[in-house]
């Protein structure tokens, strides 16, 4: 079974960590709200969660890592699982849909048979499921597609009945276990596809995209392979303000300092390093706020050049 997403995790209550469940940033006139599903820490050791990470690097950065990004007592990396709710003048977009409720994920305790108030948090962020008109999946791993669907009358149906679900064609073709024996052999990937992707396709709500795809003048989807074959990022521009939603191109802020270090779940390691460097370079040069899928509080960061590398400056949103 291929390991991906965030592995099997142990949990701590969100209240034990810094940050609010619903937090908003403004990118020009566009509001971006983080909608939390869960926060916890990995049972995988840090050096396996981020392949090649050593104790010296953890010690060097401990001052800012604790308590929101690393727990020294447990010796575990802390991660968040959340969606981004993006509201423009024309669109209400939900980017990545976490792990979802009541999904069968044996062997992955963090994702298995959950019962979280994610939809209530979405409503408290100001959007009912019926008001979402676009869902963007950066890729099709378990913790990014779960809320694509909900169980109704014994069947999985799209959670967002009025939405177009944008999915990379390359990602879909690789992830479809009916077409790809490798995906079918991976229980986590195949389960997620069958209960959280295929129903969207069968209901006629999926739009498969190739290459770069503009949602409108200020929102551009671009291929960003490495973590998976068809992984994409979203670039947001409004006036002079910019943001980049990087999905799993980065899993943890330590990778800003060390972009050569992959997560233990990147399927194309060399390409993942190239993509990560490109993402960080874009954010630094264009002053785009980096909005990842799994950073702990405060969840978003400006990226600055630091000699030949980069460093993050965390940016708080408004509760």
CATH superfamily of domain region 9-314 = Ribonuclease Z/Hydroxyacylglutathione hydrolase-like (3.60.15.10)
Distance CA 258, CA 270 (A): 14
pLDDT at 215 over 60: yes
Distance CA 227, CA 224 (A): 8
pLDDT in tens, 55-94: 999 999 999 999 999 999 999 999 999 999 999 999 999 9
Instruction: pLDDT band for 9, please (50, 70, 90 cuts).
Output: very low
Instruction: pLDDT band for 108, please (50, 70, 90 cuts).
Output: confident
pLDDT in tens, 153-207: 999 999 999 999 999 999 999 989 888 888 777 777 889 999 999 999 999 999 9
Q: What is the per-residue pLDDT for 136?
A: 98
pLDDT in tens, 229-279: 999 999 999 999 999 999 999 999 999 999 999 999 999 999 999 999 999
Distance CA 291, CA 32 (A): 10
Q: In the chain, at which residue ranges do the beta strands (DSSP E only) sit?
A: 9-11, 22-27, 30-42, 70-71, 76-87, 92-95, 134-136, 149-152, 155-158, 164-168, 206-209, 213-216, 219-223, 232-238, 241-247, 288-292, 301-306, 309-314
| Window from 20-24, 123-127, 200-204 with minimum mean pLDDT | 20-24
Spatial neighbors of 180 by CB under 8 A, at least 6 apart, are 173, 174
Which whole number is the average pLDDT over 206-233? 97
The pTM score is 0.93
Contact 238, 144 (CB under 8 A): no
């Amino acid at each position: 079974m291929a390991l991906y997403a965030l592995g099997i995790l142990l949990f701590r209550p969100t209240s034990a960590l810094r940050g609010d469940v619903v937090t908003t940033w403004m990118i020009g006139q566009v509001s971006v709200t983080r909608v939390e599903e869960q926060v916890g820490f990995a049972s995988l050791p840090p050096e396996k969660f981020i392949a090649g990470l050593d104790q010296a690097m953890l010690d060097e950065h401990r001052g800012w890592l604790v308590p929101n990004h690393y727990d020294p007592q447990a010796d575990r990396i802390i991660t968040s699982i959340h969606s981004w709710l993006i509201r423009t003048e024309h669109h209400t977009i939900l980017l990545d849909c976490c792990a979802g409720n009541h999904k069968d994920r044996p062997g992955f305790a963090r994702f298995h048979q959950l019962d979280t108030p994610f939809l209530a948090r979405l409503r408290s962020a100001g959007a009912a499921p019926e008001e979402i008109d676009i869902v963007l999946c950066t890729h099709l791993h378990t913790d990014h597609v779960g809320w694509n669907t909900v169980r109704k009358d014994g069947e999985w149906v799209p959670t967002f009945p009025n939405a177009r679900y944008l999915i990379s064609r390359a990602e879909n073709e690789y992830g479809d276990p009916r077409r790809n024996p490798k995906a079918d052999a991976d229980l986590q990937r195949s389960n997620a596809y069958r209960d959280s992707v295929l129903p969207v396709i069968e209901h006629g709500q999926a739009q498969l995209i190739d290459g770069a795809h503009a949602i409108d003048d200020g929102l551009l989807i671009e291929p960003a392979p490495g973590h998976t074959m068809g992984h994409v990022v979203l670039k947001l521009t409004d006036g002079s303000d910019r943001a980049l939603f990087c999905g799993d191109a980065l899993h943890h802020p330590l990778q800003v300092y060390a972009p050569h270090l992959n997560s233990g779940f990147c399927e194309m390691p060399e390409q993942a390093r190239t993509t990560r460097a490109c993402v960080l370079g874009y954010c630094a040069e264009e002053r785009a706020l980096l909005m990842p899928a799994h950073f702990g509080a405060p969840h978003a960061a400006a990226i600055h050049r630091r000699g030949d590398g980069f460093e993050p400056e965390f940016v708080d949103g408004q509760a």
